[in-house]
Chains A and B, each alone.
Chain A
Amino acid sequence: DVKVTQSSRYLVKRTGEKVFLECVQDMDHENMFWYRQDPGLGLRLIYFSYDVKMKEKGDIPEGYSVSREKKERFSLILESASTNQTSMYLCASSFSHGTGGAETQYFGPGTRLLVL
């Protein structure tokens, strides 16, 4: 079974703190993704990566950065946390586009972040 793990299920941080969310997958997937989920807004893509050391902006990258130094690990960084970044953060991974774009994304359990 594919396993995508996220470092924390719940996290409470203060405004202005630098926050690191870690995601690890164990299936040698090339592609990794970070989403945030908010009620009524569904899933919105923050950043994604199709290979090690590669990153691309999604729909809402402002206030976030990412790091992918190893194939299995994709980190989301909130440079200076703000209250409007309180949300559920979901990581996902999938095989490469060599599968023709039909690859399934597999999701981690999510990190619920509260910024006070």
Chain B
Amino acid sequence: AQSVAQPEDQVNVAEGNPLTVKCTYSVSGNPYLFWYVQYPNRGLQFLLKYITGDNLVKGSYGFEAEFNKSQTSFHLKKPSALVSDSALYFCAVRAYPGNTPLVFGKGTRLSVIA
């Protein structure tokens, strides 16, 4: 079975400060890991993914995520938060090898305060 945990329902950060949105996962086998963002009344937009190779993955809008196999984590980070980053963020995982669909976390709401 595969699962994803996003331990924080809400993260608040001041504009200009670094932000971290946490994600831990559980899979049998190797993980493919994804981050998506959802703005109000919109569908999910792809931010970045880890497949293999470099543990630090860079994505859209200045976001990056670090894969840590020993801690089974894939935290999303950004050096300097913008008010426009305020949104709902989802982490997702699928096991490889395998043929199962993505499993999503419950989401973390990020609020960046000016």
Chain A residues engaging chain B, CB cutoff 8 angstroms: 4, 9, 33, 35, 40-43, 45, 48, 58, 90, 92, 97, 100-102, 104-110, 112
Contacts and interface: CB of A to CB of B under 8 A. Distances in A.
Nearest to A6: B43
A41 B104 CA distance: 10
Interface string B37-54: 000011111100101000
Interface of B: 9, 32, 34, 36, 41-46, 49, 51, 90, 94, 96-99, 101-102, 104-107
Contacts of A41: 106
A33 B100 CA distance: 12
Given A35-B104, A40-B9, A43-B44, 12 more contacts: A42-B104, A42-B105, A43-B90, A101-B32, A102-B32, A102-B49, A102-B96, A104-B46, A105-B102, A108-B43, A110-B41, A112-B41
Q: Among B34, B45, B99, B101, which residue has the most Cβ atoms of chain A within 10 A?
A: B101
